[in-house]
Amino acid sequence: MKVKNIHLYMLLVYGMLGAYMVGPAMSYFLGIQRIDNLLTILFILCTVLAVLLENKRFPSGIAVLLAGLAVMAGWSALHLVISPITGSQFVDLMFFLSLPCFFYLLYQIVAHSPNPLGFIQRLILFFAAFICIPPFFEIGAGIQFVTAIEELALEAGAVKGLFFNPNNLATTAVCLTPAVLVFFTQLGRNRKEVLVGWGLFALLGLVIFASVSRTAIACYFLVALLTLLYRKNGLATVFSIVLLYLLVAMIPQYAVQDFLLSLNSNEFLERFSTRIYLFLYDFGSDNSVSSRQEIYNHFWNNIPALFTGYGPKNFGEFFGGHIGSSLGFENPHSFVIELYLGFGIVSLLGFLLYVAGYTTLFAAAGGISGKVRMFALTGMAVFLIGGFIPSSILRLPFIWLPCFLLAVYFFGRRPSENVYSAETYNKRY
C-alpha cells in the first residue's frame, strides 16, 4: 500500500467522525442541512472504491468480523429497493452502512501504519474532545448546541453537548472508556501517555455523571471496579469495597431520601437527584422505565418471524395498539430489537457473528496480558449494554469505533508488531 493511501484513509476517518460530531450543531446554529448526511454517502462510495483497489486478503480474524458487519449492514440495504422509505430513513440506512466502511478503513490504516498505536491514541483524543468539552462549555456558557424537546433542553437541566439526547452522550462516553484504558493506561509507552489515559478516563466519567444516564453510570462503575480489582492489591481492594458498601448500607434510608430531595438549588442538580431518587425508591413511577418495559415485554412475548424486517424505524405495525407510547414505533430503546424488527434475521445473524467473533478472538488470543484481554472483553460487554441506553443507535455509528480499534489493533497485524505479552507488560509496570 502506498503511504499516500494511508493518509487518504486517515482523512476519511477523521473527516467522517468530525462531521458526525459537529453536523447537528452546525445545522442548529447555521440553519443548513446536516453535512454528515451527504458526507456519509461520499464516505461509503470512497470506501467501496478503496475495496476495489486494495488487496482483498485479510487476516482470518479480521475477515470474520468484517464479514459479520458486511452481512449485518449490507442486508439492511435491501430496503432501499423493497420499501418506500422517507428521506430520514434513507439517511438512517446510510449511517448504518458506514459501519463496515469504518472497520475496513481502520484495518487498512492500522495494518500498514508505521505507528498504529500513535494513530489510535490521536484518534481517541480527537473523538474524546467532542464528547468531553462541549458539555462543560454548555453548562458554563448556558449555550445549547442542538435543538431538543422541552424536557431535554438546557433549561431543564439536561446536559447533552453535541448530541440530541443525554443518553446518546452517555452511551458514546461509556463505550469509549475501555479503549482508553487499553491504549493509554495499558499500552502507553511512557508515563505521560499513561497519565493522559487516566485523566481522560476520569473526564469521561464526569461527562457520564453529568448526563445522569443511570445505566451508563452503572457501566462506568463496572469498568472502574474491574480496574481496581486487576491491580496488584486486588484482594485489599475487594475488602475495601465490601467495607464501603456496608458503611453506606448503614445510612438510614430517610437520610438519603432527604439529601436527594434537597438538591434543588439549580436545574442540573435537581435533574440528577430526581432521576437517582426514582431509580432507588420509586422505580415504577419512572416513565422511561415503564415505556421500555412495555416495548421489551411485547417483543419477547410476540417475537415475529422476519426475513427482511419492517425497515428502519418503521415498527408501528408491530407495536401499534400494544404499547402506550408511540415513541416505540420508531425507537424501541434496544439495538437488538431495532435490528431484528428493522432488517430481519439475516442482519441479526451478521451482528451475532461479529460479536461472537470478537469475543472468541480475545478470549482465545495468546500473547496479550490478562488486563488487556479483560478490558477488551469488557468493551464489548459495555457496548452491548449500551445498546439499551439510547432510543436508537442507527445514527450513532461512532459508538462502534472503540471495539473496532481494539480488534484491528490486536488482530490486524502480526503479534510481534503490536501486542505486549503479559511478561513484557509486567516488566514495564
Rounded Cα gap, residues 362 and 216, in angstroms: 24
Query: If you write DSSP's letter for every residue of 366-401 in order, what string do you get?
Result: -SS-HHHHHHHHHHHHHHHHHTTSSS--TT-GGGGH
Rounded Cα gap, residues 33 and 40, in angstroms: 13
Q: Under DSSP, is residue 190 helix (H, G, I), strand (E, B) or coil?
A: coil
HSE-up of residue 269 (Cα within 13 Å, Cβ side)? 8
Tally Cβ neighbours within 10 Å of residue 192. Answer: 10
Is 140 within 8 Å of 83 (Cβ atoms)? no
Distances (CA, A) of 384 to 157, 341, 393: 28, 17, 11
Q: What pLDDT was estimated at residue 5?
A: 84
Q: What pLDDT was estimated at residue 1?
A: 55
Q: What pLDDT was estimated at residue 29?
A: 87
CA angle 61-67-72, nearest 5°? 135
- How many residues are given for the chain? 429
Is 366 within 8 Å of 65 (Cβ atoms)? no
Rounded Cα gap, residues 44 and 376, in angstroms: 27
Rounded Cα gap, residues 25 and 32, in angstroms: 10
Q: What pLDDT was estimated at residue 411?
A: 94
What's the first-to-final CA gap in the chain, in angstroms?
35
Q: What is the pLDDT along the chain (429 residues), one digit of tens a residue?
A: 566 789 999 999 999 999 999 999 998 888 888 999 999 999 999 999 999 988 778 899 999 999 999 999 999 999 999 988 899 999 999 999 999 999 999 999 999 999 999 999 999 999 999 999 999 888 888 888 887 776 666 666 678 889 988 899 999 999 999 999 999 999 999 999 999 999 999 999 999 988 888 889 989 989 998 888 776 655 666 666 666 656 655 656 555 555 555 556 555 555 655 666 555 545 455 556 777 888 888 899 989 999 999 999 888 888 887 787 777 788 888 999 999 999 999 999 999 999 999 999 999 988 888 889 999 999 999 999 999 888 888 889 999 999 999 999 999 875 444 444 333 333 333
Rounded Cα gap, residues 384 and 355, in angstroms: 9
Contacts of 38 (CB under 8 A, 6+ apart): none
Q: What pLDDT was estimated at residue 420?
A: 44
Q: Which amino acid is it at 429?
A: Y
